[in-house]
Amino acid sequence: MTETSPRPLSRTILLGGAVAIAAIGALGGWWLESSRGKVSANDKAAIEKVVHDYLLEHPEILPEAIERLRAKETEKQLAGIAGPVKTPFPGAVLGNPQGKVTLVEFSDYACTYCRQSVAEVEALIARNPELKVVIRELPILSPASADAARMALAAAEQGRYAQFHAAMYAIGRPDAASIEAAARQAGLDLPRARKVMADPRIAAEIERNHGFARQLGFDGTPSWVIGTRLIPGAVGQDVLAKAIAEAGKF
């Protein structure tokens, strides 16, 4: 896994083209399946051409087709873990712990883009009193990332997660000195925190988050889950705000 940056436009265009082709195939395949195999090879080619030509003449339906295909793929990825992935490690929550809309962020304290996202998440929380932000610690960039993640979960055990989260990102990249400085700034009982860091539950939580990331296809940080949407990368506050608004409708 690597630190995720915004996707280049060319990749997005290629993805859209691939999905459009899939849409053509899906529409043609659906018709053929509905005919229960009574279509000849010539008829099959003719049907696919009709679908192809229709999509070229009516490209406005492609966004809807792409959205439906993406939703189906997301549904498969979230199958069986939608509830668990939105259920935080006790205390590892920002915003309203009882909020009706949940935004999940997979983050790494050594990730530059995660650090840049802190202010955006804070702004989203300020705008949305019903927003619950579940942070899933995903240390992937360095051994110090894992140490910072363990300290963050130890902070959660003391009810000081938000304070450590903010302090760690504000101080800079994690190392032994910066992690301790953030812990002190967050007001942690350090002997208690170090004991909790060694608890098998902490290692199990981090491994669990790696498992979630693998199933969801996330290969970097930050990555987000909101409603039925999976959003990789530092996409910016506006994209997240739109997804939150859409999720709040259900």
CA distance 25 to 31: 10
Q: How many CB atoms lie within 10 A of CB 20?
A: 18
Quick one: pLDDT band at residue 50, thresholds 50, 70, 90? Answer: confident
HEC per residue, 113-170: HHHHHHHHHHHHHHHCCCEEEEEEECCCCCHHHHHHHHHHHHHHHCCCHHHHHHHHHH
Q: What pLDDT does 15 receive?
A: 47
Q: What is the mean pLDDT of the chain?
A: 84
> Is the predicted pLDDT of residue 250 greater than 50, yes or no?
no
Domain boundaries, the chain: 9-78, 83-247
Residues 45, 53, 73, 9, CA torsion sign: positive
pTM attached to this predicted model:
0.74
Quick one: pLDDT band at residue 9, thresholds 50, 70, 90? Answer: very low
Residues 130, 237, 222, 119, CA torsion sign: negative
Architecture per CATH, 83-247: 3-Layer(aba) Sandwich (3.40)
